[in-house]
Structure formats: C-alpha cells, structure tokens
Amino acid sequence: MRRNPLNLNQRTSAALRRMDSWPNRYWLLLVAAAAALERGLLYLFYPPVPFHDTGTYQRLAQTILQGWSSYDGTRTPGYPLFLALFGSVRHVYLAQLALGFLTTLLFFYIGWRATGKGWAGALAAFAYTLNIQQVFFEANLITESITTFFITLTAAGVAAVLCSAGRRPALLILAALAAGLASGAAALVRPLFIFLPVLTVFFLLLAPRPARSWIRWAAPLTVALAGFVLVGAWVNFIHSRFGRWDLSTLTGYQLTQHTGPFFQYAPAQYSLIRDTFIKYRDAQLAATGSATDAIWDAIPELERVSGLNMLALSDVLADISYRLILAHPFLFLRSVVQSWLWF
C-alpha cells in the first residue's frame, strides 16, 4: 500500500523544524541573557520610582487586604491587586522586572511564530528590550509595565491562534482563552484599553482562515467570553456598590481632563464649581504650561464649596462635562486627539 504523500510531507516539515531548532534556541538564549542582564543591572543601580498617583494605588491595595467591602471604586482593581499580592516596594519592583523579562520573551515568540525564524523573533524582542525608555518604566510604581505585559500576552495569544493551525485544537482554544483574559486584564489595569477585547475579536474574525475553519469562529468567541466576562464582572461590582454602569467612580474627574480647557463655558447653575476649578486650572497653566491633572488639586476645595463628597462630586462633574461635550463637540475632539498624540 502506498504511503500518503501528505503524511510524508508533514514528516519532512517536522524534520526541518527539528533541524532549525538549535538556531532558534540560540537566538532565544541570546535574547533571554540580554534581557536578564539589563534588568539585573537596573535593579542593582536604579531605585523604584513613585509617581504622584502611586499613593492612590497603594491605598486601594491596603483596602483590598482588609476586604472588598470598603473598596471605593476610584480605580480599576488590576494594579491595586498587583500591589496587594507582592507587598513591599522592592517585591513589586522585582515583579515588574520579571514581567518585563516575560514581555521580551513574548515578543520573541510573536516574531518567531509569525515567521518561523529565530532571528526574526530576536529582532522583535530586541526592539522592545533595547528600548531603554520602555525598560525604565519597569522601575516606575505605576501601571505601564503590567499593562504592556497584558497587551503583549494578548498579541502572543493571537499569534498562536493564527500561526499554529496545525496544532491540536485544544491548544488553540487555550491560546484564545489566554488572549481573552489578558485583554480583559489590560482593561482592568488601564481602562484606556477597554477596547482591546473588542479589537482582538475583530482582528481574529478578519484574519485569514486557519486550517480548521471552525477555529475561525471558536477562537473569537473564546476571546469575547473571557474578556467580556472579566470586565463585566468588575462593572457589575461597581453597579452593585455604587449604582452606576462604569469601570470606576472617577468618570467625572476623568472627563474633566478633556473638558477642563473649555470649562468656562459650564452652565451658570454650576458657577461655584466652575469658578473654583478654573482658578486651579489657570494657576497650573501659568506654572507649568499645561492644565492636565489640575482637577486633582482642586478636589478638596470643590468638595467644600459644593458640599458634596467625592463620589457625588464626580457625578456632578460628569453631568457638566456631558453638557459641555454636547455644546462644544469640536473642542472636546481636539482635546481627545491631542491626548492620543501625546500618549
């Protein structure tokens, strides 16, 4: 009985992959050694760096350790959970460096999986790990490094689904599950990435059809369920505790970051809040040339003049901002575009 040529071709391809395994390992070891050395030197000679909003995450981490009943929803739970898990600043620093190291390896995987070439994986990995500004973020006690890890893990899961169609279906579904959970986790660390689960599903639906056509539908569905359930569980927590469908209780303050430049157009009924905020906005603008984050300095006086607590004040600021956006949409869009360009 004649052998199936397809089986022969598959065995030949597998043999070629085995022949190429040493060069791939060589490039992977080179990338891993460089990434580990870089981060080891960073840990020894560069201390962890707190920022003005680090304290807000640390406060919520302590709240989590004491129980969720007093969690105020001012931040999504991703980074506070991370801080609560690792405890001391030095342990958090080490964890962020470890995530940075894993991010480098994920970049290698994406480059290698997409091309089948170890050197291409190394090129992708070095493009990340030799970006000194990005690596220094791993010393900062803010959300950037953990967010980067989850975004890269999302991309690696997508690469596994699209470029590994010959593998067992269960592995492809696990890769899709990892991509979905990672995309949802990115949104729970930085709400800016709430679009990531949707974008990942959209990309998988538009990508070339894998060898098993049912994977084309199963993988996006898995990503959607994992990502949306993770984000949905948190939104449901906020709704059950604070009566709003949102990712946090700071929506009003965050919207003011965009409406602040034209806050003078706020309706007269909000004159006390309007005039108080403008005082802080203009003072910061004169001192730094930017009004970004002026709202945080203004909160104590805004609470005093309005008689509102922080949660109620957020709702009023959101209402003012919605009115301003409807009345001046182009001013709002200009602020959004400028923010994205800076980001």
Over residues 292-337, the pLDDT tens digits come to 888 988 999 999 999 999 889 999 999 999 999 999 999 999 988 8
Query: What local confidence, expressed as pLDDT, does residue 7 receive?
Result: 44
Give the tens place of pLDDT for each residue, 62-95: 999 998 888 988 889 999 999 999 999 999 999 9
pLDDT of 293 reads 83
Q: What is the pLDDT of residues 174-188, one digit of tens each?
A: 999 999 999 999 999
Tens of pLDDT, residues 187-229? 999 998 999 999 999 999 888 765 556 778 899 999 999 999 9
pLDDT of the residue at 306 = 93
Q: Are 288 and 221 in contact (CB under 8 A)?
A: no
Give the whole-angstrom CA distance, residue 93 versus residue 95: 5
Q: In the structure, what pLDDT confidence band is assigned to residue 25 with cuts at 50, 70 and 90?
A: confident
Around 307, how many Cα atoms within 13 Å sit in the side-chain half-sphere? 1
User: What is each CA distance from 91 to 52, 99, 191, 198, 343, in whole angstroms?
Assistant: 20, 12, 25, 33, 28
pTM comes to 0.84
Query: Does the pLDDT of residue 149 top 70, yes or no?
Result: yes
